[in-house]
């Protein structure tokens, strides 16, 4: 009985051993002698390898299956049979019970042949073939994302921006656990850029929110932990992917394009401030001086609110601002509670304002109009601090405007809740006192009564003190 089991086991394992020996002899002895394959015997070689791949796949030999599949692709590539290459990729991946390791190896090897294609049509065809093979397979999702990015780049070079943007939007890389963080961010930023290029600002904003700004401030050295058993292995990012500081700058430059479309000066200022805080920028004087100038300009152009005031004071505390004294003086004028003369200010800063380059464009007439409005708003706030009531005529004189323009700007500030004021148009008087509700009136009455009772108590104490002193003097 024992010898019968041994013989049956030997008969079962002997074909598998012969298959492994045959494949090893083929791959390590026969193939090196045939590095180049002619077009005539290419089909014969592929047929032999397909048979070897079939036997290895049915025997469960993953390594031999992978080697046979990749060798077929190599033969097609060396023979420059691009149509055959595409056909074999589809054929091998659709075979029954094909191992995922073999499919992954084939896709990764075929991706190396993309740059070797003779012209653009063959390149697009190869990329589309690989993308169709990867579609729906989670173990090659990263390769599919890279293929789509490559195809979108080709479409963009052909001037098909809409098609490139549609291709990129099909991939949600934020769900890829095995993709490197920098590669994810770079892919999303490419999606945002294409949306901005096609002027799809709504979708660009939605995509930009997938990136948390806290990612750029993370310490990369602390995040490299040893992978535990069962954890997803994160792949290394390709060499052409920028580092986190570079991605941070790209992100905020794209957001500047978005906020420039919305004319949100305060958000543009915050974006430039984030770029200014990048260590590589702060170390280079030729880089941070133009950025600091832009921060100052957009701070001045921003409407007055608590965030703008906080940023204004923060920039004034920056020591680097002393390198550009003109802008430091400009910001100090906005902080000082004094009326600014528009003509004097514009004469001093007109040349620098018009020569300021923002994203390849110069500040034009519309930002100049916004700058004048900011100066008028500042002057109205200063006047409201010094006057409780003022006539419209006197207000217009202080603002160097007509009565109608002064009334319009004052009304706009009241509507935006930047200021509390009432205008008596028949009398031509502006009242800057806030109207009190019933609670405020009761609180003021309570405060007045409390102060009155304190005075009465102090008076009684003084009277009692004088009485005691007078009685003591009479006893003496």
**Higher pLDDT pick, 225 / 293:** 293
Average pLDDT over residues 227-233: 49
Lowest-confidence range among 31-40, 233-242, 345-354? 31-40
Average pLDDT over residues 462-471: 86
Average pLDDT over residues 7-16: 45
193 pLDDT more than 60:
yes
- The residues near 389 (Cβ < 8 Å, ≥ 6 apart) are 429, 430, 431, 432, 433
Geometric angle at alpha carbon 390, from 389 and 391, rounded to 5°: 135
pLDDT in tens, 306-345: 888 889 889 888 888 888 888 888 888 888 888 888 888 8
Lowest-confidence range among 219-233, 311-325, 431-445, 456-470? 219-233
Question: pLDDT at position 471, please?
Answer: 80
In whole numbers, what is the pLDDT of the chain averaged over residues?
82
136 pLDDT more than 70:
yes
Prediction pTM value: 0.77
Question: pLDDT at position 325, please?
Answer: 87
Instruction: Give the Cα separation of 186 and 248 in Å (integer).
Output: 10
Please report which confidence band the pLDDT of residue 228 belongs to, taking 50, 70 and 90 as the band edges.
very low
145 pLDDT more than 80:
yes
Question: pLDDT at position 221, please?
Answer: 55
Lowest-confidence range among 299-313, 333-347, 361-375? 361-375
pLDDT in tens, 206-225: 999 998 888 887 765 555 55
Question: pLDDT at position 267, please?
Answer: 92
Question: pLDDT at position 443, please?
Answer: 80
Average pLDDT over residues 155-174: 88
Question: pLDDT at position 17, please?
Answer: 47
Question: pLDDT at position 249, please?
Answer: 92
Question: pLDDT at position 284, please?
Answer: 85
Please report which confidence band the pLDDT of residue 363 belongs to, taking 50, 70 and 90 as the band edges.
low
pLDDT in tens, 21-76: 454 544 444 444 444 445 557 788 888 888 888 888 888 888 988 898 888 888 88
Please report which confidence band the pLDDT of residue 1 belongs to, taking 50, 70 and 90 as the band edges.
very low
Question: pLDDT at position 22, please?
Answer: 53
Question: pLDDT at position 230, please?
Answer: 43
**Higher pLDDT pick, 475 / 258:** 258
């Amino acid at each position: 009985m024992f010898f019968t089991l041994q013989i049956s086991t030997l008969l079962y394992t002997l074909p598998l051993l012969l298959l492994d020996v045959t494949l090893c002899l083929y791959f390590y002895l026969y193939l090196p002698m045939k590095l180049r394959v002619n077009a005539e015997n290419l089909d014969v070689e592929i047929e032999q390898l397909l048979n070897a791949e079939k036997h290895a796949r049915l025997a469960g030999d993953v390594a031999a299956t992978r080697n046979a599949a990749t060798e077929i692709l190599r033969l097609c590539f060396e023979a420059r049979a691009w149509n055959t290459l595409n056909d074999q990729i589809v054929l091998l991946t659709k075979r029954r019970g094909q191992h995922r390791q073999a499919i992954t190896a084939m896709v990764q090897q075929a991706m190396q042949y993309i740059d070797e294609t003779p012209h653009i049509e063959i390149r697009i065809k190869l990329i589309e073939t690989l993308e169709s093979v990867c579609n729906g397979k989670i173990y090659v999702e990263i390769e599919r994302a890279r293929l789509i990015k490559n195809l979108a780049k080709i479409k963009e070079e052909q001037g098909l921006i809409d098609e490139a943007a549609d291709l990129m939007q099909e991939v949600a890389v934020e769900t890829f656990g095995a993709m490197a963080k920098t590669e994810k961010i770079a892919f999303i930023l490419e999606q945002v850029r294409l949306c901005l290029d096609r002027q799809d600002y709504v979708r660009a904003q939605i995509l930009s929110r997938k990136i948390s700004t806290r990612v750029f401030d993370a310490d990369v050295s602390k995040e490299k932990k040893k992978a535990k058993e069962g954890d997803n292995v994160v792949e290394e990012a390709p060499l052409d992917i920028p580092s986190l500081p570079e991605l941070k700058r790209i992100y905020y430059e794209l957001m500047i394009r978005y906020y420039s479309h919305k004319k949100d000066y305060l958000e543009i200022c915050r974006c430039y401030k984030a770029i200014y805080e990048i260590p590589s920028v702060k170390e280079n004087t030729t880089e941070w001086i133009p950025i600091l100038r832009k921060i100052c300009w957009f701070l001045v152009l921003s409407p007055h609110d608590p965030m703008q005031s906080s940023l204004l004071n923060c920039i004034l505390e920056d020591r680097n601002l002393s390198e550009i004294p003109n802008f430091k003086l400009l910001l100090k004028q906005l902080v000082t509670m004094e009326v600014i003369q528009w003509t004097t200010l514009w004469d001093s800063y007109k040349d620098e304002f018009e020569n300021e380059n923002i994203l390849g464009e110069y500040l034009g007439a519309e930002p100049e109009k916004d700058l004048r409005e900011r100066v008028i708003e500042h002057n109205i706030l200063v006047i409201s601090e010094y006057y409780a009531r003022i006539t419209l005529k006197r207000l217009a004189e202080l603002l160097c405007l007509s009565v109608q323009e002064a009334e319009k700007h004052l009304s706009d500030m009241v509507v935006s809740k930047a200021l509390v004021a009432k205008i008596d148009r028949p009398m031509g008087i502006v009242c800057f006192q806030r109207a009190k509700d019933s609670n405020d009136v009761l609180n003021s009455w309570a405060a007045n009564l409390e102060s009155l009772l304190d005075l009465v108590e102090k008076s009684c104490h003084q009277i009692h003190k004088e009485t005691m002193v007078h009685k003591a003097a009479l006893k003496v």
